[in-house]
Structure 1
């Protein structure tokens, strides 16, 4: 017996009779939303617009306001009444050993942050920082632990305005160097002259070719000074602070100054 599985279609026979149509009245109704629902939808749209506008305002305020507040903090820290009390190197170099030099600053009322390593101390060298009068050693330690290049502009302004660093090197004779940020002179040339005046150096001792711009861009001036019968060479150099610390937000007119005195 054979089975045919592929021929199971029903046979349809055409015949005359009535044609039935589906009821399309539902499709012919207007598609307009009822007024009550439209009103509710309108309220949702208005509420969404208000919320979106509020969120956008907050975002813009956070971005723009944060920048404005940061800049205000920088200006506030730079406007503080601070005194540098720069060490007069021809006097400091006569103070004897490093401990006496450091104690002299402390006795004068300065807050000193000592960064001298054990190796430097063993070699007779010293690195100390005079802090701004309104910055504690603890706060300074936190900021210095970050690294000055990693500070915000407000933090850098707080730490640098009113501070200086003194390095004493006794490996070959005696060499002393003071560095600081000058936020008031406005130009590197003015900063150099201000430093020369603060140290009491005589510009007339500058030899021919002893002033200008060196190979790395420092504006400098050199000369000599007699201290207790010993002739020392002084050199004052300055460069834009942004060339030393790439900290966005600090004034473009800020200057990094170095004063060196060597035997």
Structure 2
């Protein structure tokens, strides 16, 4: 059941629970929200929760542009899985941030046989800059441009490889705010969005931090003893 509002105290400073779409009110000591949700700064006793793609709860000033591409061949003929970096000014003179590219093949189970999936990411100030960065990298790696937008026409063709480039079968680009783990009030937490890196270590660190705040006396990914594993598997033998 969707949550439509948060329940606050009379002063609007302390979180007390949530109101569901059915009208039912549930009390809870803690609440974890996705970064796309927004809460007004001045909170009445019942605060409407909104899902917004335009503004993050932390008012992040920078964004991350991400792209996903599927191709028939590898961007490097001698490598099935590889990591590529486009440093500043390597794609066009005005490029000020690096573009990270990770290619994975079907042998790691992420795409159909005889295809390759490529992930791209770059930090940007706005969607226009982000799309220009990714389109420039895609044009340098693949033989088919993603779009014929005006910003693509400004890209310097000198960044293209002289060797034959793989054919692009499908691609998608999207932009999200660069948010970090943070708390709102004492009982409400927002989870972060991934940063520009491709290893997602920041998400794991934020998850561990959030877990320790909610459960300070519990171990994060506690080790399981051998005897407990046997009990879970149902392989424990009883003495006659």
Higher helix share goes to which structure? 1
Above 0.5 in TM-score? no
Higher strand share goes to which structure? 2
TM score, norm. by length of structure 1: 0.24
Find the structure with the greater CA-based Rg: 1
TM score, norm. by length of structure 2: 0.25
Structure possessing the higher relative contact order (Cα contacts under 8 Å, 6 or more residues apart): 2
